[in-house]
Amino acid sequence: MTIKGYTQCILALILVFLLSGNCKKGEKTIDAIKIEAQDVNLEEERYRPNFHFTPRANWMNDPNGMFYLNGIYHLYFQYYPNGNVWGPMHWGHATSKDLFHWSEQPIALYPDELGFIFSGSAVVDNNNSSGLGKDGIAPVVAFFTYHDMNGEKEGRMDYQSQAMAFSLDEGMTWTKYEENPVIPNPGIKDYRDPKVIWDENNDKWIMSLAAGNKIMFYSSKNLMDWNFESEFGEGVGAQGGVWECPDLFPLQVNNSGEPKWVLLVSINPGGPNGGSATQYFIGDFDGQDFVPDEDFLIQLEKEKAVWLDYGRDNYAGVTWSNIPESDGRKIGIGWMSNWDYARDVPTYTWRSAMTIPRELRLHKEEGKYCVRSRPVKEFYDFVEKEVEWRSIGLNEFNAVFDKNLNLNSTHLELALKDLKAYTYDLSFYNQQGDSLTIGLDNTQNQFYIDKTASGKVDFSEKFAPAKSVYKLNKSVDDIRIQIVLDKTSVEVFVNDGAIVFTELFFPNALLDRCSLISDHTSFNMAYVKLQELKFQN
């Protein structure tokens, strides 16, 4: 064989080798897809919650446009139907009769030449003040922000404006108002998330709008022509990020009947335990100005900001409109994630869930206002099994709980009394070594959730860098804790929802054991109730 022949032969061998390598690579790719498909199944099984709303597929963030009508709760949401990360925003839609079983409906609002469809609200225009009703049908009117991507790219300030759409079939299909935007941008960069309510004291509609680090209030008689009334927020409360998704509504103080107004304001970043979170203000509103309450301002001076939820995973929460007076509840729901890592969580076919719907109530104790949250009462309609203990010792508790338990759709209530200067750690865990701890440290005066070892945590360094903490003023003698567990989330309501923590976690296997660890071995838990819930699909 000549040198040329040798060279050709070697080249041919290299080619065959490379091709066979490619071929193997090809097979590997197929394997990889297969593995992904299995992962998808695992993800479904292990991670998709049982009773929290999730979109069937793709990306979701804020709850939007919630209203109640004729027995149906409507929930719209920021939705990107073509991918599992944030993208051109639509309004997805889901309906429910009981706030827990949701049916996903066709997409309600699509982006158009004016922009993406950002967050907003909806009201039922019962008196047809807008004139958009027809044949005696009261229109449902939605308000949203148009986000003009091109304007943003061009570096303009005025790329967000407020727009309107209406529905004559109870929220199933929508017509965008021809003369949108109803409120053009006055030159403010972050100018979004209109939340409209009917102010019955002043006989007009009020819109709260996030504008940079403040909230602007507008009023209207017909939902179309809006007058600027006032603004609130300069230098008040948490200011570590942009203010978003406001919600202003009246609420009577539970124990005295005193009429007050609550203003919810989401902020990103700047939350108490990192990333995005929701703060609130208590005050009075006369149809024009929101004036924070004197006592509340004293509270703010001490606390800097007052938070609806101290966990990392409750954001952009707002309340339902048109709840009948006979019901009278203020029901809210939040996006159960955090902008710090929402795009990175280890679910691929769908991303994000909502919190459970919660009733918000206002309390005032020792001069301090507090918005308390609790699971809506419908939650308890799904209790299938329940076991209760009174005055149960630590060993007895652990003997019952420290073994195979079904913690997948679970509500656990604990009342601890006569506590001392110790740490009380309630851990949920599995045999793979994943654990989630809800703790009271009566030596350092703090309540916390520790998910640093809860399973998959390293998909984002911001997911579980440390415990989520609530600082107590002093050590506590007794505490009541309610815990809602749903595979990949925990919602903790302390002392009737005065302190709330919502946290996501992604264990490698379902958590199925629970134990209470404390050096205070002689105390008895005053009350323990374990409820298993069942939600049919």
Position among 58, 61, 279, 337 found at the interface with ligand FRU (CB under 6 A):
61
Binding to ligand FRU in span 136-155, by CB under 6 A:
145
Q: CA–CA separation, 275 vs 240, rounded Å?
A: 10
Q: Exposed, middle or buried, 327 (CB in 10 Å: 0-12/13-18/19+)?
A: exposed
Tokens of 13: 């061998």
Position among 118, 217, 429, 463 found at the interface with ligand FRU (CB under 6 A):
118
The verdict on 209 binding ligand FRU (CB under 6 A) reads: no
How far is CA 407 from its chain centroid? 21
CB of 118 or CB of 505, closer to ligand FRU? 118
CB of 334 or CB of 497, closer to ligand FRU? 334
Binding to ligand FRU in span 238-267, by CB under 6 A:
244-245
CB of 60 or CB of 416, closer to ligand FRU? 60
The verdict on 196 binding ligand FRU (CB under 6 A) reads: no
Q: CA–CA separation, 270 vs 318, rounded Å?
A: 19
What is the nearest approach in angstroms of ligand FRU to the Cβ of residue 408?
A: 28
The verdict on 119 binding ligand FRU (CB under 6 A) reads: yes
The verdict on 316 binding ligand FRU (CB under 6 A) reads: yes
What is the nearest approach in angstroms of ligand FRU to the Cβ of residue 245?
A: 6
Residue with tokens 């959730």: 449
Residue 309: CB atoms within 10 A of its CB come to 29
Q: CA–CA separation, 248 vs 230, rounded Å?
A: 13
Q: CA–CA separation, 165 vs 173, rounded Å?
A: 10
Secondary structure element (H or E) that encloses residue 387, with its range: strand 383-393
Binding to ligand FRU in span 174-193, by CB under 6 A:
192-193
Position among 60, 66, 75, 89 found at the interface with ligand FRU (CB under 6 A):
89
Secondary structure element (H or E) that encloses residue 12, with its range: helix 3-47
> Of the residues 31, 39, 62, 284, which is catalytic?
62
Binding to ligand FRU in span 448-507, by CB under 6 A:
none
The verdict on 216 binding ligand FRU (CB under 6 A) reads: no
Binding to ligand FRU in span 64-83, by CB under 6 A:
78
Q: CA–CA separation, 376 vs 359, rounded Å?
A: 5
What is the nearest approach in angstroms of ligand FRU to the Cβ of residue 83?
A: 13
- Binding residues with ligand FRU: total (CB under 6 A): 12
What is the nearest approach in angstroms of ligand FRU to the Cβ of residue 91?
A: 10
Tokens of 91: 């309004």
CB of 143 or CB of 424, closer to ligand FRU? 143
Q: Which residues contact 373 (CB under 8 A, 6 or more apart)?
A: 308, 309, 332, 358, 359, 360, 493, 497, 500
Residue 57: CB atoms within 10 A of its CB come to 15
The verdict on 314 binding ligand FRU (CB under 6 A) reads: no
What is the nearest approach in angstroms of ligand FRU to the Cβ of residue 264?
A: 13
What is the nearest approach in angstroms of ligand FRU to the Cβ of residue 255?
A: 33
For the question of residue 62 being annotated catalytic, the response is yes
Q: CA–CA separation, 259 vs 250, rounded Å?
A: 7
Q: Which residues contact 335 (CB under 8 A, 6 or more apart)?
A: 60, 61, 62, 63, 77, 78, 314, 315, 316, 317, 352, 354, 355
What is the nearest approach in angstroms of ligand FRU to the Cβ of residue 68?
A: 22
- Catalytically active residues, by annotation: 62
Residues in contact with ligand FRU by the rule CB under 6 A? 61-62, 78, 89, 118-119, 145, 192-193, 244-245, 316
